[in-house]
Structure 1
């Protein structure tokens, strides 16, 4: 089986797992959040590995770096929504801490990858 370059990236693998975790965690959200936080968290969590993947397909390093910036921004957006979900008691302390740790690891790796693409 042929692997695309993004499939070989540890950060993509972590981001994909985070998105899957967010989908599982948000299953428990109240029904009235179907189009609110639940939808927002799912969309930005899936945006992280999607932008990493899309960025690796771009031709210039500047384009690649841009997509890493978008992925980073989506991760920060997810963290913000996770904090709000915790304060609304939609997620447990354990899930909150896990998402926070995953986001920290992923954003550090995305930042390193972005800096690599921007090297002169």
Structure 2
């Protein structure tokens, strides 16, 4: 695994950012913009994925990082569920829906794999280094 010095280096954060940007575009360019509650919910959950990855990374400890990754994974599931509501209300077409759901499923898998990696890693984080 390559050395990661900042959360922006993480592939999972980059992918979460890309998906959040796609959700924001949908919320601005479709009739979803008039469904204020659903629009707000899906924008918040998609942003929460990348934000929790970043916050966990900045905690400098694997235990807290894993907890925040778990929250990020939950937010990815929440976003995926909300995409069903977006699709069911005809705000996006089937192709866009299936692509985004698939991308969120892949992201959830990558987050889960990263949690597993951290669980099996002896390095506990920089906050636990002895001076």
* Structure 2, unpaired ranges of 5+: 123-131
CA offsets 1:76-111 (integer angstroms, 9 cap, x no match): 000100011111111111220121121011101110
Between the aligned partners of 1:31 and 1:22, the Cα distance in structure 2 is: 11
Determine the structure 2 residue equivalent to 1:104.
105
Q: Tell me the distance in 1 between the aligned counterparts of 2:61 and 2:101.
A: 31
Ranges of 4+ aligned residues in structure 1 off by more than 6 Å:
none
Structure of greater Rg: 2
Unaligned runs of 5+ in 1: none
CA distance in 1, matches of 2:26, 2:99: 11
The alignment's TM-score, normalised by the length of structure 1, stands at: 0.89
Post-superposition Cα deviations, 1:59-82, rounded to whole Å, max 9, x if no partner, equal: 321100000001000000001000
Pairwise CA distance, 1:4? 4.8
1:29 is aligned, of 13, 28, 31, to: 31
- CA–CA separation in structure 2 for the residues paired with 1:62 and 1:49: 18
Aligned mates of 2:34, 2:96 — CA distance in 1: 20
Could you state the TM-score of these two structures normalised by the residue count of structure 2?
A: 0.82
